[in-house]
Amino acid sequence: MKKLKLFAFSLIAAGLLASCGGGSQKSSESEETKEAPATEAATEEASAEEAVPETVSLTIEGDDMMKFNLKELKVKAGQKVSLTLKHVGKMPKAAMGHNWVLLKPGTDIQAFGMASMNAKDNDYIPQDKADQIIAYTKTLGGGEETTITFDAPAAGYYKFMCSFPGHYATMQGDFIVEP
């Protein structure tokens, strides 16, 4: 009985060894052919993961507590960005207006915020600081929303803020553009 078990085990082991590379040239070619489609499929799958959508849609909300619901937004360089700002509070624009302003790197947020206080007639966007802005929305009151579209800038870190008087201190965040 022991000899029979040993013989059966030997046959199984020999079969396994033969299928793992102990076979002929024909078997080796067959394995290469089988591997090629799997490699192509893996490459196609990786390419699909790397594909960046042409347009990215983002939504950010401002409330009556002078806060954005997001402190960070991420996009890829060169993407078309469709950004929707929603004022989810109830207070009117004159008392608790919100906008969204994307600033160029190096912009002094405090200086920009202070200058914004004198730009009521221009949705709190100071004309003398226009060269420091990449994109911005109009100012909204409670229950309103607006959408803007712009091209994502070069890879890097940018700041966004609400420029309604006094809001920049608590309503700001990072806009990250990945390569």
Reported as a single tens digit per residue, the pLDDT across 127-176 is 999 999 999 999 999 999 999 999 999 999 999 999 999 999 999 999 99
Same domain, 74 and 161: yes
Same domain, 37 and 100: no
| Number of domains comprising the chain | 2
Element (H, E) at 174: strand 172-178
Same domain, 18 and 90: no
Q: Is 18 helix (H, G, I), strand (E, B) or coil?
A: helix
- pLDDT above 90 (res 53): no
Q: Which residues pair with 161 in a beta bridge?
A: 101, 172
Burial of 6 per CB tally in 10 Å (0-12, 13-18, 19+)? exposed
Same domain, 62 and 97: yes
The closest alpha carbon to 139, from 110, 167, 108, belongs to: 167
Question: What whole-number distance in Å separates Cα of residue 30 and Cα of residue 59?
Answer: 52
Same domain, 62 and 120: yes
Q: Which residue range(s) make up the domain with 80?
A: 55-178
What is the pTM for the complete model shown? 0.72
Half-sphere exposure of 32 (CA within 13 A, CB side): 6
